[in-house]
Amino acid sequence: MEKISHGEPTFFTPKRVFAMFANNHHDDGHVAVWLPAGSGVQDALIEEAPQIFFRPPYVGPAGWIGVEMAGIDDDWLGSLIREAFDLVAAKDRVAAGPRKSSTRRRTRSER
């Protein structure tokens, strides 16, 4: 789901943010997408391509990456967004806990 949050388009799983657009946030000069990343991914991407990736304010300490829109092609960006969605959706599933199996007995007509 997309909605405006903090003045910018922000994308949510049912419960959590998985992508934020940032258009020159606080005059930082970046037109970017901010995405959560798995453990160690932020440092690896920034080291590999510092002209594309950066540590965004606020969420950077939690491992999110900033992705400079002008420096990345659509396919690569799309794969990063899908990975971010999958990462956050997995956290949603863990937070929801295990599904309870039905303990209701079936009636004879259901058997």
Q: What kind of fold does domain 2-110 have according to CATH?
A: Aspartate Aminotransferase, domain 1 (3.90.1150)
**Beta strand 8-12 pairing with 65-68:** unpaired
SS3 97: coil
In angstroms, the CA 36 to CA 81 distance is: 9
Q: List pLDDT tens digits, range 41-96.
A: 999 999 999 999 999 999 999 999 999 999 999 999 999 999 999 999 988 777 77
Model confidence, pTM:
0.78
Record the tokens describing residue 2, joined without a space. Answer: 């997309």
Identify whether the C-beta of residue 33 lies closer than 8 Å to the C-beta of residue 20. Answer: yes
Q: Give me the residue spans of the domains in the chain.
A: 2-110
For residues 93 and 25, which has the higher predicted lDDT (pLDDT)? 25
